[in-house]
Amino acid sequence: MADPRFFDRAGPFPLGVVAELADATLGANADPGREMTDVAPLQSAGPRDVSFFDNRRYADSLGVSTAGSCLIRPSDTGKAPPGMALLVTEAPYLSFARVSRAFYPVPAMEPGIAPTAAIDPTAAIGPDCRVDHFAVIEANVSIGARCHIGPQAVIGKGVSIGEDSRIGAGCSLGHCIVGSRVRLFAGVRIGEDGFGFATERESGIHVDIPQIGRVVIEDDVAVGANSTIDRGAGPDTVIGQGTRIDNLVQIGHNVVLGRGCIIVAQAGVAGSAELGDFAVLAAQSGVAGHIKVGVRGRVAAMSGAMRDVADGETVAGAPAMPIKQFFRGIASLKRLSERE
């Protein structure tokens, strides 16, 4: 179970309630009144835990698991050991997310403004917000209801934030419009100058282009620790609704990310690139400047898209090509070097 120093657990919940939370059907032999006290992976789950089976890779674990109940696909129910209460659903992992959240709700936030926070008198802070120690809120900032501004976060002048957003420790925000239910983890940097300059031919001196756009972060976005999102040069940098950005990601100026994109750790998107809805950039991948990645387009880990990626296409390699072609090349090269 989760360390009680850090996590408060709710429940127990009877299996009938778990099934409802999970949008699952309770297996024939399961007792809807049987109480479950926690969630756990198959390997460590005990008789009062809810577990899940979503990845065939772990079929062995399922067979020997002592989990009291398990979220499972209809097609996999035959693999479960007898006696395990089955919670049958087409989407076990999604159901597990919902059940886990019931056992481990988002911790309630105690509203209040730390006396050490430095808040400009012109800032408007909505009801029931929490502002932690040494946060700085500058002139003309507007923050909606129930936001949490973490310790030492800096909200620069004129920034607006919607409702129920959480800004982590030591973040700094400038020149941006942030939506509701947005989460920025610690150390995120929003709205710094884009990397734009022109170079004098003879002297080699770099002359900055004023960066006069903003960052627009739509609702329900999450941005991982120490990631950086530069403001636009003229147009805005836009992070689409529900997009998830992992740690140490770089988003350049003028980039437009669609809805529900997934940008995994240490990936980078160069200036003026565009990603369609639900596009995925795997870890340490990159998209070159001005390139378009289509709807549900995907760039594999450590790969670099230097040409447009079509809707639904997956590319790999640096420079990136269709992923089948990439792996064919790897195989050809292997054979070639073995022949020589």
For the segment 89-128, give every residue that binds a copy of itself (CB under 8 A).
91, 93-94, 96-98, 100-101, 103-104, 114, 116, 118
Report the chain's C-alpha Rg in angstroms: 24
Q: Out of 234, 307, 311, 312, name the contact with a copy of itself by CB under 8 A.
A: 234
Residue in this structure with the two tokens 């800032």, named with its chain if needed: 123
User: Which segment (12-20, 59-67, 73-81, 196-204) binds a copy of itself by CB under 8 A?
Assistant: 196-204
- Helical H runs in 54-122? 59-64, 92-103
How many other CB atoms are there within 10 angstroms of residue 247's CB atom? 17
| Residue ranges in 18-77 that form contacts with a copy of itself under rule CB under 8 A | 39-41, 44, 57
The residue type at 142: S
Residue 235 Cβ vs a copy of itself, minimum distance, rounded to whole Å: 7
Measure the CA–CA gap between 25 and 276, rounded to whole angstroms: 35
Is 194:230 a contact under the CB 8 Å cutoff? yes
CB of 258 to a copy of itself, least distance (A): 10
Contacts of 37 (CB under 8 A, 6+ apart): 9, 11, 12, 48, 49
Closest CA to 218 of 162, 154, 273, 297: 162
Task: Fill in the per-residue mask, 319 to 338: x = in contact with a copy of itself (CB under 8 A), - = not in contact.
Answer: x-x---x--xxxxxxxxxx-
Residue 41's contacts (CB-CB under 8 Å, 6 or more residues apart) are 51, 61
Please count the residues of this chain forming the interface with a copy of itself, following the rule CB under 8 A: 113
- Of positions 31, 32, 81, 206, contacts a copy of itself by CB under 8 A: 206
Q: How far is CA 46 from the centre of its chain?
A: 30
The residue written with tokens 């988003």 in the block is 251
Cα gap 298→263, rounded to integer Å:
10
- Nearer residue to a copy of itself within complex by CB, 78 or 340: 340
CB of 309 to a copy of itself, least distance (A): 16
- Nearest-angstrom CA–CA distance, 215 and 189: 11
String of contacts with a copy of itself for each residue 263-302, x by CB under 8 A? -xxx-x-x------xx----xx-x-x-x----------xx
State yes or no: residue 212 binds a copy of itself (CB under 8 A): yes
Query: What positions carry a catalytic annotation?
Result: 253
Contact pick of 186, 219, 310, 323 for a copy of itself (by CB under 8 A): 186
Nearer to a copy of itself, 78 or 286 (CB): 286
> In the window 124-153, what residues touch a copy of itself (CB under 8 A)?
132-134, 136, 140, 150-152
**Cβ–Cβ < 8 Å for 191, 173:** yes
Q: Does 82 bind a copy of itself (CB under 8 A)?
A: no
Task: Pick the closer one to a copy of itself by CB: 32 or 87.
Answer: 87
Strands 215-217 and 176-178, by their bridges, are parallel
Instruction: Rule CB under 8 A: choose which of 144, 162, 179, 252 binds a copy of itself.
Output: 252
Q: Identify the residue among 163, 218, 230, 274 touching a copy of itself (CB under 8 A).
A: 230
Q: Does 202 bind a copy of itself (CB under 8 A)?
A: no
**Bridge partner residues of 142 (DSSP):** 124, 160
Rounded distance, CA 327 to CA 123, Å? Answer: 55
Segment interacting with a copy of itself (CB under 8 A) among 29-37, 62-70, 80-88, 258-266: 258-266
**According to the binding rule CB under 8 A, does residue 217 interact with a copy of itself?**
no
Out of 61, 126, 158, 181, the residue judged to bind a copy of itself by CB under 8 A = 158
201 contacts a copy of itself (rule: CB under 8 A): yes
Q: Helix, strand, or coil here: 206?
A: strand
